[in-house]
């Protein structure tokens, strides 16, 4: 009987919470409707124009990004092109790859998806063999490495797959989350909750990469370091 009473009491508390939430939502909607009802034609016209202007600006911004090569995952032929690309775009992700590194091909698939989803960010790839000066300047030793460039300056790196759950089977969202942690793209999820943290086979700890020492000889494959 006590158990039944507890369940009944819990059900009533839950029902009461739901009713209170519903009431708050209804009150908010009523308030918004009342505001609209009280607006005169001039105010409604100004509101409409304001929203149309916001849409126009958003469309202009989209076209500007597309004109600068956003919206697709592109390979650039040389390090000289790298400097030009990062100069003209506020947010850039550049994948430093090598043909023989299979993990670079894994990254390619995810980056191609994200380039279409996040027009605010430019996604590039550059063969390390064609960029010896740049790799030395950025201290890129482990392949694959993603250089995250904001306002023309390299702010952060994603080296190998350690920050992506430490697995080759990481999801696109895991990479999206990691890039969101560096504010190199607009991540809509919760940055405090890595997508892989509840999956036992993946690592649960994320440590942001500072300017850490990168192991290995020149252009080590990250898979060789595991």
Query: Which band of pLDDT confidence, cut at 50, 70 and 90, is reported for residue 53?
Result: confident
Number of domains in the chain: 1
Asked whether residue 69 is domain-assigned, the answer is yes
Bigger pLDDT: 155 or 14?
Answer: 155
**Is residue 127 within 8 Å of residue 143, measured between CB atoms?**
no
Flag whether 11 is in a domain: no
Q: Would you place residue 94 in the very low, low, confident or very high pLDDT band (cuts 50, 70, 90)?
A: very high
Asked if residue 142 belongs to a domain, the reply is yes
Q: What are the b/e assignments for 91-120, b being 16+ CB within 10 Å? A: bbbbbbbeeebebbebbbebbebbbeebbe
Instruction: Of 135-144, 161-170, 205-214, give the lowest mean pLDDT range.
Output: 205-214
Residue 32 lies in a domain: no
- At 27 the pLDDT is 76
CA distance 171 to 185: 16
**Strands of the chain, DSSP E:** 73-75, 91-97, 122-127, 142-143, 145-150, 153-159, 220-221
Any domain includes 120: yes
- The CATH number of residue 91's host domain is 3.40.30.10
The answer to whether position 214 is within a domain reads no
Query: Is 158 inside a domain boundary?
Result: yes
Q: Which domain holds residue 92?
A: 64-180
Q: Tell me: the pLDDT tens digits for 154-205?
A: 999 999 999 999 999 999 999 999 999 999 999 999 999 998 876 554 444 4
pTM equals: 0.70
Please report whether residue 146 resides in a domain: yes
End-to-end CA distance of the chain: 58
């Amino acid at each position: 009987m006590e158990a039944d009473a507890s369940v009944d009491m819990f059900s009533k508390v839950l029902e009461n919470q739901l009713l209170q939430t519903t009431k708050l939502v209804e009150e908010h909607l009523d308030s918004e409707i009342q505001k609209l009802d009280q607006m005169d034609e001039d105010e409604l016209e100004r509101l409409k124009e304001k929203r149309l202007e916001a849409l126009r600006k958003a469309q202009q911004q989209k076209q500007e990004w597309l004109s600068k090569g956003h919206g697709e995952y592109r390979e650039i032929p040389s390090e000289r092109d790298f400097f030009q690309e990062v100069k003209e775009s506020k947010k850039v992700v550049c994948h430093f790859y090598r043909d023989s590194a299979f993990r670079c091909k894994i990254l390619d698939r995810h980056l191609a998806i994200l380039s279409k989803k996040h027009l605010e960010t430019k996604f590039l790839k550059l063969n390390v063999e064609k960029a010896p000066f740049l790799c030395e300047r950025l201290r890129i030793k482990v392949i694959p490495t993603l250089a995250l460039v904001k306002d023309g300056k390299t702010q952060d790196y994603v080296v190998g797959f350690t920050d992506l759950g430490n697995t080759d089977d990481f999801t696109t969202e895991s990479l999206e989350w990691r890039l969101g942690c560096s504010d190199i793209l607009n991540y809509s999820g919760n940055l405090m909750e890595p997508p892989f943290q509840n999956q036992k086979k993946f690592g649960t700890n994320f440590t942001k990469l500072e300017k850490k020492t990168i192991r290995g000889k020149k252009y080590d494959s990250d898979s060789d370091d595991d």
